[in-house]
Chain A
Amino acid sequence: MAVSYAYYPGCTLKTSAREFDESTLKVCKAAGIELTELADWNCCGASSAHSVSPLLGLSLPARDLQTAEALGKPVAVACAMCFHRLKHASHALGDAAKLKQVNQVLGKEFRNTVKVEHLLTILGSNGSSYQVTKKLEGLKAASYYGCVLVRPKEVMELDDEDNPQLMDRIVASLGAETVEWDFKTECCGASLPLSKPEVVVNLSHKILRQARQRGAECVVVACPMCHSNLDIRQKAMKAAYPGFQEMPVYYFTQLMGLAMGFSAAEMHIDKHLTDGLSLLKSKGFI
């Protein structure tokens, strides 16, 4: 049975994280999950709106949720940050007074009845049926969830806050091995890259360093902000931390796609700043 969702890509998936968008769409299509892009969506406000104005931070995602509610479809989100903002809004608007305020801001009626799900849940649930045709045997990966995907647990309703397993299970279903490590939900520096790049380099380097120490050959993520911090800052990490070894960072949907028979080009592995092709070639996957 095809499951149908209103798909909220968010700004980053349409620009610097296009490979996450395109791999998500291809994988879902092949798995019989129907994603229709939400009409005329707007930015969820990310880390800025709520930092500056709590009401704006609720109203921006509420406009998107209202559109989906009118369609009568649940919302599917791939970006961890957008997921966080949309889930946070649905949760906070359980408060009738806040919902009333937001409706005043929106100028239309939102009833807050729409369900928001992350692609990890949608693809990782028992009902989803993706066919693995090329097992990623011998690949050792560290699943990195970052902060906003899982915290706070009561709001995100995704997985455990300290030791989530959802992505590990998906990666394992592809034939790869995941490592046990302590940095699954540590912070990568989040939205500081423009204003405080040195903080991002420091925090992200610690994450990659432990992934390497625990035997991982690559890191797998579900967040474009984590991806960008971990992937594009590796040159700076090398300069700041002698002995640092580069490590590819993939979106979980890219690895799924490869295992489902898509080519490296179709999964846009070449879009990363840190080489992700050599490892896959050395394993004979591409």
Chain B
Amino acid sequence: MINTVTILPAAKNDLRSFVEKTSGQKLLRCYQCGKCTAGCPTAYLWDLTPRQVMRAVQLGLKEELMRTHSYWLCVFCQTCSARCPQEIDIAAVMDSLRHLAILEKRAPAEKEVALFHRHFLRLVHRFGKVWEVGLGGLYNLTSGHPLANTSLLPAMFARGKLPLLPHTTHNMEEIRNIFKRAEELERKSAGPETGRKA
């Protein structure tokens, strides 16, 4: 992907400091053995493999990394984290990368995956609980795949697996406040590492 790179000192490596701060992981411990990639169930779809993602964070290749599909395809199975000989929680690093992309309002390379998370949380924000019919409906309406998974619906409905109306948490004020305060606090503590350079 890139022929030459410049290794930045930590102070200038915004990507690495953000990821280290939010994931609590020591990125420089990674010695590129590749065990994370070997065990990752979805790595066959990643443009940069988990090992390469780790390297890109070490090197501070923020723009190159943010553009990839890789971290969006992590399903958080934690196989990598369990196997890393350097005891790095790689899954937490992937979480940090998604979090960074969202804080910086970047267009996700995997728009469907990002959309799924967004709708999921929209429902929790609205009802306190997830409502599967609503989640599927919102997803299909907005993803450009209006018929995604609909072939399964008749059988699911017939078995009473998909209630048409949402269950809700009663104290919704508390739930909305949780969303609001978490976002405020997170933006406040995001620090100078986030933000896109022109």
Contacts and interface: CB of A to CB of B under 8 A. Distances in A.
B102 interface: yes
Interface residues of A, number: 56
Contacts of B186: 53-56
Contact of B78 (A46, A51, A147): A147
- Most chain B Cβ neighbours within 10 Å, of A101, A186, A196: A196
Contacts of A148: 76-78
A29 interface: no
Interface in B87-115: 89, 95-96, 98-99, 102, 110, 112-113, 115
Contacts of A187: 41-42, 75, 77, 79
A195 B117 CA distance: 10
A199 interface: yes
A54 B95 contact: yes
B167 A11 contact: yes
Contacts of B152: 232, 273
B30 interface: no
Given A56-B179, A187-B41, A161 B82 contact: yes
Contacts of B82: 151-153, 161
* Interface residues on chain B, size class: 35 or more
A42 interface: yes
A92 B55 CA distance: 26
A59 B182 contact: yes
B21 to A, nearest CB: 11
A197 B95 CA distance: 22
- Most chain B Cβ neighbours within 10 Å, of A17, A52, A185, A203: A52
Interface in A23-81: 40-43, 45-56, 59-60, 63
A100 to B, nearest CB: 11
A195 B116 contact: yes
Contacts of B112: 194-196
A152 B22 CA distance: 18
A11 B134 CA distance: 13
Contact of A152 (B89, B124, B139): B89
A271 interface: yes
Interface stretch (B1-9, B10-18, B59-67, B158-166): B158-166
Given A43-B124, A271-B159, A195 B110 contact: yes
Given A41-B169, A52-B121, A196-B112, A15 B132 contact: yes
Contacts of B197: none
Interface of B is mostly: helix
Interface stretch (A103-111, A130-138, A208-216, A242-250): A103-111
A14 B152 CA distance: 19
A18 interface: yes
A52 B136 CA distance: 19
A47 B138 CA distance: 18
Contacts of B160: 18, 271
A194 B148 contact: yes
Contacts of B120: 46, 48
Interface string B125-158: 0001111100110010001000011001001100
Nearest to B78: A151
Contacts of B130: 11-12, 43, 46
A173 to B, nearest CB: 28
Given A47-B75, A48-B117, A232-B156, 18 more contacts: A11-B130, A14-B167, A43-B130, A45-B121, A46-B120, A48-B116, A54-B99, A56-B121, A56-B178, A56-B186, A59-B182, A107-B181, A147-B78, A148-B76, A148-B78, A151-B81, A192-B75, A193-B149
Nearest 6 interchain pairs by C-beta: A147-B77, A195-B112, A187-B77, A190-B75, A48-B120, A187-B41
Interface of A: 11-12, 14-18, 40-43, 45-56, 59-60, 63, 101, 104-107, 147-148, 151-153, 161, 185-187, 189-197, 199, 203, 232, 270-273
24 contacts: A12-B130, A12-B132, A15-B132, A15-B163, A42-B128, A42-B175, A43-B129, A45-B124, A53-B186, A54-B186, A55-B182, A55-B185, A105-B181, A148-B76, A151-B79, A151-B81, A191-B76, A194-B135, A194-B136, A195-B113, A196-B73, A232-B156, A271-B161, A273-B159
